[in-house]
Every structure is written in structure tokens, then in C-alpha cells.
């Protein structure tokens, strides 16, 4: 219970950073999806059912507050994303860290591919254009942040033990 409240508070903090300091964390017109990073890291420690609700609710909050192109797309993809992340964590938990990290990075990349492909579907941009100009830059920024936080949490956990 205490763990869940703490996770919820962290998510609220992450959402507030995303809302109020979005323009400050932007690099070359690319902004990281902090909620997605938080979900991916939480998939390692938080209960799956609680996490899937977090994915849906905070995805929806992001859509309402961040002026995303399609309202409902973030909760939809984040719900599926959390489901896949939880399943992959269950499957690859016994494997070395690097395997799990690679799988999670692949999921992160797929999220951006699907998100941008769907949100840009109606203007019929070529798939390569969507990948090169939208998905890869967003994945790189969010991916680097994810790796940094992933090892930070790992280091913190090891020190605590």
C-alpha cells in the first residue's frame, strides 16, 4: 500500500514536470515522454494491476493537458505498453539485466513508432519519414533518460540491500 502511494506521488510529480517544464526539457524540438519512462521503470517493481491503471489514467491526463493530436491514443497505447512491459519483465526477469533492458528499449521504440504512425496517419506521410523525423528522435531522447534512470534505480536498490 505504502509502495503504491509512493509510486502514485512519483507519477504526479513526473506529470507536473512534464506539464510545467516541458519547454525547458526540450532538445532540438524533441521532448521526452517522462510518464512512459516512469511506467517502464515501475514495471520492474510495482504491482501489474496498479501499473496498468497508472498507464491509463496518466496517459489520459497527458492527452488532456499536453495538447496531443488524438485524445485517447496515449491511454490506449500506454495500457497496451504496460501490459507488454509487465509480461516481458515476468518472462525475462531471470535473464541478465542487459536482456531485460534491451527488451524494454525495444518496447519504447515500438511505442513511438505506433504513436507517431497513428497520429500522422491522415496526412499520409511515408513510413520512413515518420520513423526518421519523429519516432527515432523521440526514442533516442526518452531511451537515454530511461537507461540513466534504470541504472540509477538499480544502483539505489543495490545500495539499500
Q: Which residues bind other proteins (CB under 8 A)?
A: 18-24, 29-31, 33, 48-49, 52-53, 55-56, 59-60, 62, 64-73, 75-76, 79-80, 82-83, 86, 115-116, 119-120, 122-123, 125, 129, 133-134, 137-138
- Rounded alpha-carbon distances, angstroms, from residue 93 to 33, 38, 66, 101, 156: 24, 18, 34, 10, 18
Q: How far apart are CB 3 and other proteins at their closest, in Å?
A: 18
45 backbone dihedrals φ, ψ, rounded to 5°: -125, -25
Q: How far apart are CB 159 and other proteins at their closest, in Å?
A: 31
Q: How far apart are CB 141 and other proteins at their closest, in Å?
A: 10
Q: Which is nearer to other proteins, 116 or 150 (CB)?
A: 116
DSSP state of 29: T
CB atoms under 10 Å from CB of 118, counted, come to 15
Amino acid at each position: 500500500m505504502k509502495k503504491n502511494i509512493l509510486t502514485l506521488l512519483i507519477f504526479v510529480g513526473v506529470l507536473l514536470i512534464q506539464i510545467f517544464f516541458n519547454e525547458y526539457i526540450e532538445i532540438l524540438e524533441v521532448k521526452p515522454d517522462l510518464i512512459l519512462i516512469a511506467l517502464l521503470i515501475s514495471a520492474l517493481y510495482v504491482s501489474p494491476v496498479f501499473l496498468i491503471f497508472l498507464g491509463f489514467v496518466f496517459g489520459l491526463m497527458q492527452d488532456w493537458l499536453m495538447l496531443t493530436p488524438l485524445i485517447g491514443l496515449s491511454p490506449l497505447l500506454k495500457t497496451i505498453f504496460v501490459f507488454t512491459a509487465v509480461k516481458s519483465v515476468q518472462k525475462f526477469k531471470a535473464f541478465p539485466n542487459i536482456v531485460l533492458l534491451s527488451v524494454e528499449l525495444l518496447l519504447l521504440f515500438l511505442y513511438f513508432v505506433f504513436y507517431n504512425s497513428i497520429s500522422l496517419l491522415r496526412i499520409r506521410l511515408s513510413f520512413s519519414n515518420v520513423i526518421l523525423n519523429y519516432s527515432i528522435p523521440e526514442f533516442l531522447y526518452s531511451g537515454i533518460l530511461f537507461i540513466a534512470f534504470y541504472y540509477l534505480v538499480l544502483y539505489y536498490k543495490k545500495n539499500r540491500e
